[in-house]
Amino acid sequence: MGAGPSKGIGRIRRIARRHGVVRLRVFGSRASGRATGSSDLDLLVDLKPERDLLDLVEFKLEVDRLLGQDAVIRNLEVIGEAVKNLCADLRRRHPAIPWRGITALRNVLIHHV
């Protein structure tokens, strides 16, 4: 997650509470410590008895939006970091690319999102 794992987990817990989740467990590669960059997040969810399938669907959609946004942010952070490490000659050969802007965006995302 782009905001960092602990912030992401906290956000998911808040979403879970709003949708009546009483128990939330992670399983699969993330739980076992074998996750890679392409691993998904496997969640086992128990709802309050008075909640229904729509609550579960809304929970899933909200978590999917959160994770999708975080993946985009993380990709922008990686691109910005890579741009910082490009050789000066390559930057000079492509003056139309806003190199400083890309790096500045990375800095904002890393420190303020």
11 catalytically annotated: no
Q: How far is CA 30 from CA 23, 43, 56, 78, in A?
A: 17, 10, 21, 21
Q: Which of 22, 12, 10 is nearest to 46 (CA)?
A: 22
106 catalytically annotated: yes
Whether the CB-CB separation of 47 and 21 falls below 8 Å is answered with: yes
CA 108 to chain centre: 16
The active-site residue, picked from 93, 94, 111, 112, is 111
Residues annotated as catalytic (active site), given as ranges: 106, 111
